[in-house]
Amino acid sequence: MSWMVWTVPTAVFFSTIAAMLAGMTAWEIVSPTVERNGFLPIATTRGDRLFIGLLSAAYIHLIVVGFLPISIWFALGLSIVWMLVLMHWG
């Protein structure tokens, strides 16, 4: 039988995603969202921007791992900055 091995980085990753989803749910309950236009070419809600941000962060990491000779920590920093920009002005 094969068991999944939960390393510390894996646990931190999934815990962070769960905390983000819980935080967005609480924020939605306290302050319901409305669609708005930012620099993205579509009207989006907070949840839409979170999904787009998570998806694009995954692509940033894939590009760094696959094509660039730089540290994965750079990809993490870039992804965090991108997520903050996207959530605020997207």
| pLDDT at residue 74 tops 80 | yes
- Domain coordinates in residue numbering, the chain: 8-89
Convert the pLDDT of each residue in 33-63 to its tens digit. Answer: 889 999 989 999 999 999 999 999 999 999 9
Contact yes or no for 77/70 (Cβ under 8 A): no
* Backbone CA torsion sign across 53, 55, 61, 62: negative
| pLDDT at residue 85 tops 80 | yes
- What average pLDDT does the structure give for the chain? 90
pTM of the model: 0.80
